Structure 1
Amino acid sequence: MAFMALMASVAGVAHAAFPDHPIRMIVPFAPGGGADITARVVADTLAKKLGQPVIVENKAGAGGMIGAAAVARAEPDGYTLLYTTPGQQMTLPYLMKAMPYDPADLRPVSQVSLAPSVLVVNKKLGVKTVQELIDLARKKPGELNFVSAGIGASSHLNGELLQILAGIRLEHIPYKGTGDAVKDLVGGNGDIAIDTVGIYTSFIKDGRLVPLGVTTPQELPLLPGVPPLSRTLPGYDASPVNYITVPKATPDAIVQQLAAALQATIAEPDVKQRMLEQGILAIANTPDQMADLLRKEQTRWREVIEKAHIPKQ
């Protein structure tokens, strides 16, 4: 009995000591992208809250699955985090025939951001409202196109949701990344895109692209006067959620400690401002709230993928 009590005491001390060495935050995409930039904003302040360095490590490839698999297989000790985007648990499970990990092996800790998107069109279309775009698309079924960062990307599924709710048919042009999609859209080879606000802000300001609506239920201070898409298309609500996950077996005490540190991180005015400069809203929640949000998003996007008849890759 004395031995068991001693072991319980030692285990309690071990948990209380967390963290006692650097933590890795895996970003499943290449350096320099939106997820990478935001992850580094979070990591800088999270390190101060935890009292240990939080080292951002990029493991890009396979739409984020390589990095996600690495975290799913990591020791469940709180020292390996995944900066998770919608693909790893919300959409790719319904788009891939096989995955290198079980999405359920990643445990939600806290949301860190919401990335509002905006529907933009090339000015050559001559439309200024969502309804005008819908009317034009109905007159020319299949003739207008929308560009995306690739099959399964948020910009792809946003476009599919637009078609479903508006009852229109567009041609989808997937690219291998956001940069090429933006280049063709601005250059006139693309007609429509629905992607995160930060990507298109400068092109909206200089008049090369026309914003028709935002994907949030309310207007955004970032784009004053641009209405929510839901005013024309009730039910349209599509903003990528970014959050932190850990291996499934990570102890509850560590998950709660990480969640508290992330909540304190996201509450910092400097963090909120740095994210806002990228067109991103800093938002935190509890592990239970994030798990509930994850389930709702999985259901919603599975339905969109099925209705759009997107073949599994």
Structure 2
Amino acid sequence: MFKRMMIAGVAIASVLGVSAAKAEFPERTVENVFPWSAGTAMSMSQIIAKAMGEELGVAMTVISTPGAAGTKAFKTAMSRPADGYTVIDGYVAPLVLQPVLGNAEWTYKDFKPLHAAVSNAFSIGSRVGETRWSSFEEMMEWGKANPGKLRYSSGSRNNLPHMVIAKVLQSYGVVAQNIPYKTDGDARKDLKSGVLDFAFVNVGAYLQDKEGFDILLVLSELPGAKASYDGAPSITDLDIDLGLSGLAPMGWTWWLVHPETPDAETEALRSAMAAAMKREDVREAITRVGFVPLDWDHDQYEEVVGPVADQLGAMGNALKWEEEELAKVRQ
């Protein structure tokens, strides 16, 4: 009888052991909900997701969910179970900018951070062969002497590049006209032809056409961002404090999960992403296309992301300043 009980106990323990093993997280594919359409930024997330999946031992896929300035992806992710199988690709626009503008009901504090992912710095570019100035500060001197004469584009109006550029111009007391375009490509064509005096140039456009622009200023203090533009001057090289630091003046993303995600699952995801972001193959692949891999871990989230909301608020005030000063010039 005792022997039969022992055998039965072993069998039960074996079954329980198998069940326990199957219950280990993760058992299936983990999805990253990405807020934009397919493109270079999405390919960066796919690089990280592939490596992270390898660390977790399961596939990790990136699901493009564009719409509503990135907030559709957040709403989609937050509607799913908080079980660790959904990761939010937390780009600055839906995470911080849209809440600041009153277009989202959350703040960055309403999520659990996993790890910082990547940044893509913006730059201010002039046309090649410009004779009125040879540096950003010379262009600011020209602009101050000619209020309202500088014409520039940030692509669409009131986006993050527009906010950053307006804050820079305000710091120098330079009033300029922002010309909206439906596509960045059209703006860059007009920059080259002289219709515009300067424009926002992203790293992808620069790498595709390095000879097509004179990069006057990289809007980031990260060394990797400056390297992406082949050592062009950055905001750290200016003699004026722009009030822009950390992640505020650029595009970036942190990966997040629902705040109710269990601690064990959260820690598993954090460990996997931290390991993925340290891998040389991952860092090289990200750097190769001009993005910058970020090293901040989850415990630095508040320190790094917290100041961005205040700086975005200041940049929003710069947009209002730009409109008011242009109205004065036109009177």
TM-score interval for Structure 1 and Structure 2 normalised by the shorter chain: 0.7 to 0.9
Distance change in 2, residues 1:186/1:156 (3 Å) = same
1:195-224 Cα shifts (integer Å, max 9, x gaps): 432322333x22x21111222336533334
Query: Partners of 1:49 and 1:310 in 2: how far apart?
Result: 49
Distance change in 2, residues 1:82/1:44 (3 Å) = same
**Which residue in the other structure is 2:199 paired with?**
193
**Which residue in the other structure is 1:210 paired with?**
214
Tell me how far 1:187 sits from its aligned partner. Answer: 4.3
Are the equivalent residues in 2 in contact too, given 1:124–1:188 (CA < 8 A)?
no
> 2:97 matched to 1:91?
yes
**Which residue in the other structure is 2:72 paired with?**
66
The partner residue of 2:296 within 285, 305, 308 is: 285
Are the equivalent residues in 1 in contact too, given 2:155–2:200 (CA < 8 A)?
no
**Which residue in the other structure is 2:263 paired with?**
252
Query: Partners of 2:185 and 2:43 in 1: how far apart?
Result: 16
The partner residue of 1:241 within 249, 252, 260 is: 252
Is the deviation greater in 286-295 or in 179-188? 179-188
1:29-64 Cα shifts (integer Å, max 9, x gaps): 1112x3212111111111111111111111111111
**Which residue in the other structure is 1:79 paired with?**
85
**Which residue in the other structure is 2:6 paired with?**
none
Tell me how far 1:116 sits from its aligned partner. Answer: 2.4
Structure number with bigger Rg: 2
Query: Partners of 1:225 and 1:251 in 2: how far apart?
Result: 44
Tell me how far 1:259 sits from its aligned partner. Answer: 1.6
Query: Partners of 2:213 and 2:66 in 1: how far apart?
Result: 30
- Give the root-mean-square deviation of aligned CA atoms: 2.6
Amino acid at match of 2:91: T
Query: Partners of 1:284 and 1:255 in 2: how far apart?
Result: 18
Distance change in 2, residues 1:289/1:177 (3 Å) = farther
Tell me how far 1:152 sits from its aligned partner. Answer: 4.2
Distance change in 2, residues 1:72/1:200 (3 Å) = same
Q: State the TM-score, normalized to the length of structure 1.
A: 0.85
Identity of aligned residues (%): 21
Q: State the TM-score, normalized to the length of structure 2.
A: 0.80
Query: Partners of 2:55 and 2:145 in 1: how far apart?
Result: 56
Are the equivalent residues in 1 in contact too, given 2:124–2:198 (CA < 8 A)?
yes
Query: Partners of 2:264 and 2:193 in 1: how far apart?
Result: 52
1:105-164 Cα shifts (integer Å, max 9, x gaps): 433221011222222112364322111110121122222122123244332222112112
Are the equivalent residues in 2 in contact too, given 1:26–1:56 (CA < 8 A)?
yes
Are the equivalent residues in 2 in contact too, given 1:72–1:106 (CA < 8 A)?
no
> 2:120 matched to 1:115?
yes
Structure 2 unaligned residues grouped into runs of 5+: 1-15, 323-331
Aligned 1:1-313 pairs, distance under 5 A: 17-32=24-39, 34-96=40-102, 98-99=103-104, 101-103=105-107, 104-123=109-128, 125-126=130-131, 127-203=133-209, 205-206=210-211, 208-217=212-221, 220-232=226-238, 233-235=240-242, 236-237=244-245, 238-309=249-320
Distance change in 2, residues 1:186/1:263 (3 Å) = farther
1:2-41 Cα shifts (integer Å, max 9, x gaps): xxxxxxx99xx69971111101111111112x32121111
Distance change in 2, residues 1:173/1:107 (3 Å) = farther
How many residues align? The count is 296
Structure 1 unaligned residues grouped into runs of 5+: 1-8
Amino acid at match of 1:106: F
